[in-house]
Amino acid sequence: MGRINKIQGGSAFLSLLKDEGVSHMFGNPGTTELPVMDALGKQSELPYILGLQESVVIGMADGFGRATGQLTACNVHVAPGLGNAMGAIYNAAFTNTPMIITAGQQEQGHGLTEPVLYAPLVPIAAPLVKWAFEITRLEDLPRIIRRAAKIAMTPPMGPVFLSLPGDILSDQAGIDLGSKTRIDTRVRPSDEAIEKLTARLIKAKNPAIIAGNEIVTSNALAEVAQLAETIGAAAYQQTIAFGAHFLSGSPSYVGGLSRGQNEILKALDPYDLLMFVGCTVLQTSVASKVVPMPQNATVVQVGLNDWEIGKNYPADIALHADVGETMKALIP
């Protein structure tokens, strides 16, 4: 059963964030966020971390989320504040950091007069987030916050954006706060897929593992290192690493891959099997006529990001699966 309360929008917003597991809120507020700031002052469970510039605010939330694995929340002020934040939002999307980003918007109807600092916010944020939406009824606030949190926390995780008009935050209504949803994505490959993968790994004379951040989010650092050591595979971090994606103390660890096509091909060409584990696949920076993927290697991909699997290079074995569960199946 949901909880029906007569509650102000700003207070409901904070209650929903806390129930979704948000422990800190980062922000740089303005006038459209005053109802939220007023509600923050009436409670002590959710600390507000103030930043002086929006890219710093998003960066703090990104770092906190990556370090803790928790859903984070941050708010910026209207269109210029969101614009200032866009580079840092790109980083949060790149690192798959689960984050609810909000911006206070002018009161509904007032935007028609084109007040200072006004612009439609959803089109600004939409290209870089998993979901972007503007709330138009206080009664919809719980459903929208619950959906935003669920989307942000479902792999591939990432930021979402909500535009919060000032009148929504100031209004009061009897609303059902509902309850949170988390999707268990610890998918285990089928027995047939594990048998096929095991046979390929045994057959490989010179395998290599390329490691990405899903190894960290599935708590499988030790297990992936054990697999590499068991099959005698060299282990690299993905071309554009943004954290420690493999245990550097493992004897299998070689280091990070370059983002240059020539260097990637030179490093990987000796291997007859390449196992990409929870990572981007040979992402590069500048254009080149050199194809970085070796032509004769067996390619294996394991992860939960369907968009990344087979995106640029075909995979001989492609598993939509949790890295940790896959390691448990390979090394019982």
pLDDT of 174: 87
Which has the closest alpha carbon to 264: 245, 280, 250?
280
User: What pLDDT was estimated at residue 5?
Assistant: 62
Q: How far apart are CA 246 and CA 234, in angstroms?
A: 11
DSSP 268-293: HTT-SEEEEESS-SS--SS--SS--S
Question: Is 0.75 topped by the overall pTM?
Answer: yes
Distance of CA 293 to CAs 94, 231, 245, Å? 22, 22, 21
CB 274 within 8 A of CB 295: no
Judged on CB neighbours under 10 Å (0-12, 13-18, 19+), 71 is buried
Q: Are 300 and 273 in contact (CB under 8 A)?
A: yes
Whose CA is closest to 300, among 209, 172, 216? 209
Cβ atoms 261, 292 nearer than 8 A:
yes
Strand pairing class (207-211; 234-237): parallel
CA angle 122, 83, 13 (to 5 degrees): 55
Domains located in the chain, CATH noted: 4-176 (3.40.50.970), 191-330 (3.40.50.1220)
pLDDT at residue 178 in the model: 87
Spell out the residues 6+ positions from residue 323 whose beta carbon is closer than 8 angstroms to its own. 214, 215, 218, 220, 224, 277, 278, 302, 303
Ranges of residues in the chain with a pLDDT under 50 are 1
| Residues forming a β-bridge with 120 | none
How far does Cα 155 stand from its chain's mean position? 7
What is the pLDDT, as a whole number, of residue 4?
Answer: 66
Task: Look up residue 178 and give its DSSP letter.
Answer: -
CB 154 within 8 A of CB 143: no
